[in-house]
Amino acid sequence: MGEMIAPKGLAGVVVDKTAIAITDSEGVLLYRGYRAIDLAEKAHFEDVAFLIVNGKLPSKSEKEAFIAKLKSGFGISEDINRVISILKEKDMMRALRSLVSMYPYRSKDQDDLMLEMASKFPELISNAFRLSRGMQPLNPIEGTYAERVYYLLTGKNDPKKARYLEELMILYMEHEFNASTFALRVTASTLADPVSAFTTALATLKGPLHGGANAEILEFFDGFKDVQEAIVYVDTQLQKGEKVMGFGHRVYKRLDPRAQFVKMKLRELAGDSKVVKIAEAIEQRMWEKKSIPANVDFFAALYMHLLGIQEDFYTPLFAASRVFGWCAHYKEQLSDNKLIRPDAQYVGPTGLKF
């Protein structure tokens, strides 16, 4: 077979098959065949996590066993808490990446190990934030997975706001061969263990062109006093040929349905407030000027802010949701594995003498 030259960034290149998630021809994100926004609106996090990892919605007994498995992974080693206190790492993604890679997991079975890792993400994030700032860790509450996560991030037991957070976490859970997932699959293809693969994914997710984007958008909004000032900013950025944070997506060229769902929920939380008006004005201006849609991060940053979640948690929360997608992709990669090792087109010098 002759050499094939792929476009930079592998845009439009199909590199493998997957049964986990896809964006269909109508631009709708599907999880194992179900519309992701339908699942966000009608299902609970545990149901969707089971679906993503196992390929089907759980029965009552399967859901109970899955929740019990997750709960068995709750709790953080005191040795790890001491490490957090010594390091005092303020960058939560750096902290999470390091803690996930060094944690003394108990599970020997690979599937159990991945769920143990996933179950620890929220508490590792919370403890890393609090201990690095001289506060004591929170004692987790009983409740749904989302209620527990909301409490660990805010210190508040608020089932209503936890449900709003749950909807966003479901939409964050999976998105086919995104950068962090593909990086995980490259690592998995070498037959590296799940800890190594998840650490690779976390390192990739940290970048501002991927998961790190949502952490920068709130600062972007804080600078605007009214709609007109926001529009002037957009026009100025475009005139300079620079990006506007929260716009553009490799998959969604006309509409990101996840973004529209979060915008709808944002209106429920904030009504017709100034911040919603500014967001919608920026969205409209970008479409008028460049025909580029808002992506989910654009509205999610405001959404999390209104839920009382600090900016430090935005990307780690993405990770705590996406980790269940990573579980599924690790398993799928190994089910029919081939080492991912592309070639490169060399454009450097030749014939040099030493």
Task: Read off the pLDDT of residues 17-39 as tens digits, 9 standing for 90 and up.
Answer: 999 999 987 789 999 999 999 99
> Could you tell me if 159 and 222 lie in one domain?
no
Domain with 302, as residue range(s), is 213-306
pLDDT of residue 213: 65
The residue type found at 169 is M
Which of the residues 249, 256, 312, 329 is marked catalytic? 249
Write the CATH number for 52. Answer: 1.10.580.10
* Residue 272 covered by a domain: yes
Count: domains in the chain:
2
Q: Active-site residue 109, yes or no? A: no
pLDDT of residue 1: 52
Task: Read off the pLDDT of residues 219-274 as tens digits, 9 standing for 90 and up.
Answer: 777 778 899 999 999 999 999 998 888 887 777 777 888 999 999 999 999 887 88
Phi and psi at residue 21, in whole multiples of 5°? Answer: -155, 155
> Could you tell me if 120 and 258 lie in one domain?
no
Q: Active-site residue 249, yes or no? A: yes
pLDDT band at 327 (very low <50, low <70, confident <90, very high): very high
Measured between alpha carbons, how far is 234 from 242 in angstroms, rounded to an integer? 9
Which of the residues 175, 256, 297, 305 is marked catalytic? 297
pLDDT band at 206 (very low <50, low <70, confident <90, very high): very high
Q: Are strands 34-35 and 29-31 parallel, antiparallel or unpaired?
A: antiparallel
Residue pair 305/266 in contact (Cβ under 8 Å)? The answer is: no
Write the CATH number for 279. Answer: 1.10.230.10
Measured between alpha carbons, how far is 348 from 289 in angstroms, rounded to an integer? 39
Residue pair 146/163 in contact (Cβ under 8 Å)? The answer is: yes
> Could you tell me if 64 and 193 lie in one domain?
yes
Measured between alpha carbons, how far is 100 from 246 in angstroms, rounded to an integer? 28
